[in-house]
Amino acid sequence: MLIDSFGRHIRYLRVSVTDRCNLFCNYCRLPNETLLPNNRELLSFAELVRLLRIFLALGIERIRLTGGEPLLRRNLVGLVQEIAQLPGLQELALTTNALLLERFAGALKKAGLQRVNISLDSLNPETFDHITQRHLLRPDLLPTRSEQLGLATVLAGIEAALQAGLHPVKINMVVMRGINDLEIPDMVQFAQQRGLLLRFIETMPVGVAGQEMASLFMPAEEILARIQSHFARQLIPVSGEHGSGPARYFRLVDSAADVGVISARSRHFCDTCNRMRLTSKGALVYCLGRSDRMDLKEHLRAGASDAEIQNIIYSAIALKPKQHEFEEKELYRPSNRMSALGG
């Protein structure tokens, strides 16, 4: 059992499988970032599966695969199949931008993936292109042609996830004042019509890109007020129905529409944090809002035994901070970009 020095039970591990992404979302990556693969730096699938087996033996129950964009990692379906068979695993999920999901949804479900979270910040094609900075994409680095990587492709990926049975399909919208905040009601209706679980996320000043977008911050309470005002209905809290993550969920009165808010800045949830993050290069990140980490790859490749790796993980858990520090200057280093931390 993994319990940190503040009594929090760590059950959830977010696992990045690649830093690469086929989008340049303005709150995540800078225009001049080049994320070419270096296979030697990445954890191999064998190393990753070994680490996850150790984490599960220590009490981790839920694993979420992230990136960058995880579907860019070659043979991800095979990795999912291996992880799904590990003892002790209760939930295996994936966070994706859905650009490649139409191609892989059925195979991922068959391999053992249970559900997906999909990033979708706008239903307007022009706003979508603005946020994702689609003009920066290099077709030679992508598995599909750049002209296919637009909003329509994401919507097709969402439908493929629903058809494959990757329920619940969760939609994550990062709300940015003056860019996409007027779409909040449209997104609620879109999710309700398709049976999607929608969560609104506050912008977070992680990495240089995140810092530059900090001025567009809209607090969760304002987002909820916007929904109530538009639909002329009250939102009532809903608890215990949508998992144990950081989102707070609400239901519109006389409606089947549930929405969540993730308020990492305006109302942090650090006291109940149950997660850590493993980067694609093997660093265990204690907190998204801090720069501290433990290099597990170094010990793996130096020949450490499983028992030794377990002890290193225990020592890392003891270093997990009480709460995030989004104003910490070290967070603005390029190495702390969201695409490298798995979100």
Write the DSSP string, 32-78. T------TTTSPPHHHHHHHHHHHHHTT--EEEEESS-GGGSTTHHH
pTM metric for this prediction: 0.90
Query: Token pair 């538009």 is at which residue?
Result: 230
Please give the pLDDT value at position 340.
60
Sequence-ordered alpha helix ranges (H) in 274-318: 296-301, 306-318
Provide mean pLDDT across the span 21-25. Answer: 86
State the average pLDDT for the chain: 87
In this prediction, residue 47 carries a pLDDT of: 98
pLDDT at 264: 74
Instruction: Out of 149-158, 201-210, 225-234, 297-306, pick the least confident.
Output: 201-210
Q: Which option is the CATH number for 12-341: 2.60.34.10, 3.20.20.70, 3.30.70.980, 2.40.110.10?
A: 3.20.20.70
| Residue 162 or 332, more confident | 162
Query: What pLDDT was estimated at residue 32?
Result: 63
Q: pLDDT class for 272, splitting at 50, 70, 90?
A: confident
Instruction: Let me know: does 9 contact 275? Beta carbons within 8 Å.
Output: no
Domain ranges for the chain: 12-341
- Which 3 state secondary structure label does DSSP give 246? coil
What was the pLDDT predicted at 329? 47
Residue that has been written with the tokens 């790796």 in this structure: 309
Contact 340, 85 (CB under 8 A): no
